[in-house]
């Protein structure tokens, strides 16, 4: 079991901008956000996606930024999302200090991004042996577009995630509204205010 001293977990659905946001932080382009989250000296922080946690050989990591797709179980289990069963999240139990950052973005933008990814996947699918993998991704993206088109259902998935997060003692939990311009950070207590226009 890997133990972590300081863990910052960026969570959100596919196409919400998790990877891009973390890259921007690493390049020092969003300093106000780094300061707010306590990401002092970003070069000392290790960054990794959840599905690659098993590749870590260290038994102890001082500072870790983790990227988590909170619909990853949903995509596999057809609408049954149970975070307690998701093995990589066990790292939360061995982390001394936890900060959650949950990303929110306009669902219409999510739909557009999923469509772009679908087109990119189609143009890159030249290997016939990978065609079935491509078809599976088509099905997954179709389901995601349906989910993103149903704001109530999408908010339900967010609520499940936020309730799971409540089971942990954290230093802080932020909602990051990932706009097309500058991201805006809100404390979790402002969650209802952030999504009010979409309800």
Centre a 10 Å sphere on the Cβ of residue 83 and count the other Cβ atoms it contains.
18
Looking at residues 78-102, what average pLDDT do you find?
Answer: 87
- For 49, list phi and psi in degrees, rounded to 5: -85, 150
This prediction has a pTM of: 0.89
pLDDT digit string, tens, across residues 104-129:
999 999 999 988 766 555 555 555 55
Do the domain assignments include residue 188?
yes
For residue 134, is it within any domain? no
- Rounded CA gap, 144 and 146, in Å? 5
Residue 142 or 125, more confident: 142
Residue 75 lies in a domain: yes
Residue 53 maps to a domain: yes
Asked if the structure places residue 159 within a domain, the reply is no
Least confident of 5-19, 59-73, 126-140: 126-140
pLDDT score, position 133: 54
Overall average pLDDT of the 139-160 stretch:
90
d(CA 142, CA 136): 10
Evaluate whether residue 121 is within a structural domain: no
HEC per residue, the chain: CCEEEEEEEEEECCCCCHHHHHHHHHCCCCHHHHHHHCCCCHHHCEEEEHHHHHHCCCCEEEEEEEEEECCHHHHHHCCCCCHHHCHHHHHHHHEEEEEEEEEECCHHHHHHHHHHHHHHHHHHCCCHHHHHHHHHHHHHHHHHHHHHHCHHHHHHHHHHHHHHHCCCCCCEEEEEECCCCCCEEEEHHHHHHHHHHHC
Most confidently modeled range among 3-12, 31-40, 50-59, 134-143: 3-12
pLDDT band at 134 (very low <50, low <70, confident <90, very high): low
Residue 94 lies in a domain: yes
Total count of domains within the chain: 1
Largest CA distance in the chain: 49
User: Mean pLDDT over all residues of the chain?
Assistant: 86
Range of the domain at 7: 3-106+165-198
Look at 51-55, 72-76, 77-81 and tell me which has the smallest mean pLDDT: 77-81
**How long is the chain?**
199
- On whether residue 155 sits in a domain, the answer given is no
């Amino acid at each position: 079991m890997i133990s972590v001293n300081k863990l910052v977990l960026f969570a959100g659905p596919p196409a919400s901008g998790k990877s891009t946001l973390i890259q921007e932080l690493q390049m020092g382009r969003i300093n106000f956000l780094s300061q707010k989250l306590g990401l002092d000296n970003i070069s000392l922080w290790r960054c990794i996606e959840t599905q690659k946690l098993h590749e870590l050989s260290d038994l102890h990591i001082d500072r870790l930024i983790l990227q988590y797709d909170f619909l990853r179980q949903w995509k596999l289990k057809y609408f049954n999302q149970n975070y307690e069963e998701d093995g990589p999240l066990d790292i939360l139990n061995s982390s001394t200090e936890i900060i959650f950052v949950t990303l929110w973005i306009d669902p219409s933008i999510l739909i557009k991004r999923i469509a772009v990814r679908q087109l990119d996947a189609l143009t890159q699918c030249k290997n016939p042996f990978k065609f079935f993998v491509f078809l599976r991704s088509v099905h997954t993206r179709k389901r995601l577009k349906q989910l993103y088109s149903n704001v109530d259902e999408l908010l339900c998935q967010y609520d499940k995630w936020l309730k799971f997060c409540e089971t942990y003692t954290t230093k802080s939990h932020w909602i990051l509204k990932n706009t097309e311009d500058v991201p805006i950070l809100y404390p979790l207590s402002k969650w209802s205010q952030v999504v009010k226009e979409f309800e």
